[in-house]
Structure 1
Amino acid sequence: MSEISLSDLYSNMQAEMLQTLHTGSVPFAHSGTKGDNTEANWIAWFKKYLPARYAVDKAIVIDSGGKCSQQIDLVIYDAQYSYMVFQQQESKLIPAESVYAVFEIKQNLNKDHMEYAQEKAESVRSLIRSSAPIQHAGGQYKPKPLHEILAGVLTTKSDWTAPIAPNVVKYINITSHNKRLDFVCSVSDNTFVIDNNIFVSQYDASKTPTIRFCEQNDSLVFLLLNLLKRLQDIGTVPAIDYREYASKIDSKYYKVM
């Protein structure tokens, strides 16, 4: 029986991913334009490599109470059951129930950018999420328990001198439920992931997580495979309870005589 080298496959895949990520990347004099270009490349990268059941966009996340998150550079959300994706001028508004993961995108990895990504994550995770019962031919399923929304920061390079692992591990906030980062990627250095042994059902702050990382040559493949595993663990997002959103519409009852 012939064998195939997974290492070779991963190396080829990494090279292809790098090409996708850097397609159209040219230096811009204006830093804001350069940042927008980097965000667009990462969004295109996720759209290419994630299954079609997931949608990817820059967006603001909202809840049924009208509260909203900060602007999120990259949101991975449900593409099959998310009927309520609003457009407000240039921004997409995505219901919190539909969100799988959120990422902050920066050129360089450093302490400030990691803390900024943690604040962005907290602004999403603190929103209210509903979960409605699901009807099926034989009756009704109970509301699905709310999943843990994943979060991370994506960068091209690091401000820290290699090896960067001690600094990254130091600044991953693993004790705060809403601020923790599950993924930290510096394409030219390493990708770090928090093992999901503390996410079997819900986040357990009493458990000490294992932080795994790979080397530069596999940074994007490692990110993708671990993200796919975590998305697989989540399964499907909960059914939105549309009554919660409808309750904010001023309506009246009319009694039929």
Structure 2
Amino acid sequence: MLDTYLPKRYQAANAFVVDSLGNFSDQIDVVVFDRQYSPFIFKFNEQIIVPAESVYAVFEAKQSASADLVAYAQRKVASVRRLHRTSLPIPHAGGTYPAKPLIPIWEGYLLLKVTGVLHWGCRLTKPSMGIYLMDDLIWAVLHRMGIFTSNNIDSKFNFEHGNKPATAFLFRLIAQLQFSGTVPMIDIDAYGKWLAN
């Protein structure tokens, strides 16, 4: 769904993420990455491999939530966050702009079906609802229920009820992508050195 509705400068796909040192992430259900300014996206044995600098967000999509599934999703997200990312100064006609700071990689958990009370098995955020959010979670979309959001700055937690949580999530994601602007300028030479070895 995401790849159909995102603006064309972005792409969403099941993919692996790689860094210029040759480290790979686990396979991620949904990687949202820059397609306009990413000079290369690998494809190997029908698997998409995205450079770490191009990644905006990673999501795990599951049928249900449990403590084990959330811990599994956390490990997969951590495999992306630990990757090395480069950012070079940006040349222009009058000289160069400083290298762009690395953008945060957002993460989330997309649930297609929910039955009963959710116990996510991580830090307690709203005990009356039985909701446990994974650390650093940005979004959780629950089919037919609503959308959970939180942030790392003040750990605020919000649940928005709604009949169209997937649509609300899509609009929220597009707004975040617009706010982030372009990804950093990738050090292509660093990838070239890795691939040459």
Please indicate the TM-score interval, normalised by the length of the shorter structure.
0.7 to 0.9
**8 A Cα contact 1:59 1:91, kept in partner:** yes
Superposed CA deviations along residues 33-80 of structure 1, whole A, max 9, x for unmatched, are xxxxxxxxxxxx112221111011111000011100000111110010
* More RCO (CA 8 Å, sep 6+): 2
Of Structure 1 and Structure 2, the greater strand share is in 2
TM-score norm. by structure 1 comes to 0.68
Residue of 123, 135, 144 corresponding to 1:188: 144
What is the DSSP-based 3-state SS (H/G/I as helix, E as strand, rest coil) of the residue aligned with 1:73?
A: strand
The TM-score with structure 2 as length reference comes to 0.88
Q: Of 176, 179, 184, which residue of structure 2 is paired with 1:233?
A: 179
One-letter identity of the residue aligned with 1:167: G
CA–CA separation in structure 1 for the residues paired with 2:13 and 2:130: 30
1:222 Cα deviation from its structure 2 partner: 2.1
Gaps of 5+ in 1: 1-44, 174-179, 199-207, 252-257
Matched, 1:143 2:99: yes
Counterpart of 2:123?
none
Aligned pairs (5 A) from 1:211-226: 211-226=157-172
Using the TM superposition, give the Cα deviation of residue 117 of structure 1 relative to its aligned residue in structure 2, in angstroms.
Answer: 1.6
* Structure 1 residue corresponding to 2:133, chosen from 171, 174, 180: 171
Deviates more, 1:224-233 or 1:125-134: 224-233
Contact 2:117 2:130 in 1 (8 A): no
Instruction: Find the counterpart in structure 1 of residue 14 from structure 2.
Output: 58
Percentage identity across aligned positions? 39
The structure having more radius of gyration, on CA atoms, is 1
Structure-2 separation of matches of 1:113 and 1:51: 30
More helix by share: 1
- CA gap of 1:250–1:95, structure 2 versus 1, over 3 A, is closer
Q: Which runs of 5+ in 2 are unaligned?
A: 121-125
Corresponding residue pairs, total: 190
